[in-house]
Amino acid sequence: MHLLSSARVKAGESVLVHGASGGVGLAACQIARAYGLKVLGTAGTEEGQKIVLQNGAHEVFNHREVNYIDKIKKYAGEKGIDVITEMLANVNLSKDLSLLSHGGRVIVVGNRGTIEINPRDTMAKESSIIGVTLFSSTKEEFQQYAAALQAGMEIGWLKPVIGSQYPLEKVAEAHKDIIHGSGATGKMILLL
């Protein structure tokens, strides 16, 4: 919910969710679809691509393919993408800017390092890069998001997808897998 409010989305706009097969990505796809957005996603495995399509995406692209950005550009057409949810900005941000529509927004959710971009890429399209973190929400905002998500689960448009499960004593292994793994499918959880 925080992602969509930060992006100021409107029904009918397009959204590209990078890393859409992970827990956050799948939730973003489901929520965006429920909001009436045209949902595109990326995933790096055949299993991941399948689950992204099953969870609200209209189209999915394999981010391990060398020319996947060109495929997204072709699919989006001249208009471009209105909103990009970016899970790994240090890898994708420069490419994201080339995909945006006029007034498009990149919502940075995740990052693992630095990246060099050309600010001119934001100027021509009057686009924005917006960083978000749930921890910066006020108590009232957090309560609003929680209520909306709870309602989504009760009604059925939000269905959390559980991925890898680790007992608490294997938390170090879970951390290693999420940092060095080849991709996620669903939300990783720790079992008590």
Query: pLDDT tens digits for 4-48?
Result: 788 899 999 999 999 999 999 999 999 999 999 999 999 999 999
Confidence (pLDDT) at 1 = 58
Residue type, 171: V
- Pick the closest to residue 6 from 32, 26, 30 (CA basis): 32
CB 32, CB 8: distance < 8 Å: no
- Pick the closest to residue 72 from 51, 96, 94, 105 (CA basis): 96
The span from the CA of 86 to the CA of 106, in Å, is 7
* pLDDT above 70: percentage of residues in the chain: 97
Contacts of 187 (CB under 8 A, 6+ apart): 22, 23, 24, 26, 160, 161, 162, 163
The span from the CA of 123 to the CA of 64, in Å, is 29
- Pick the closest to residue 17 from 37, 51, 40 (CA basis): 40
CB 6, CB 28: distance < 8 Å: no
CB 34, CB 156: distance < 8 Å: no
Tens-binned pLDDT, residue by residue, of the chain (192 aa): 566 788 899 999 999 999 999 999 999 999 999 999 999 999 999 999 999 999 999 999 999 999 999 999 999 999 999 999 999 999 999 999 999 999 999 999 999 999 999 999 999 999 999 999 888 888 998 898 888 889 888 988 888 878 889 999 999 998 888 778 766 677 888 998
Cβ atoms < 10 Å from Cβ of 156: 8
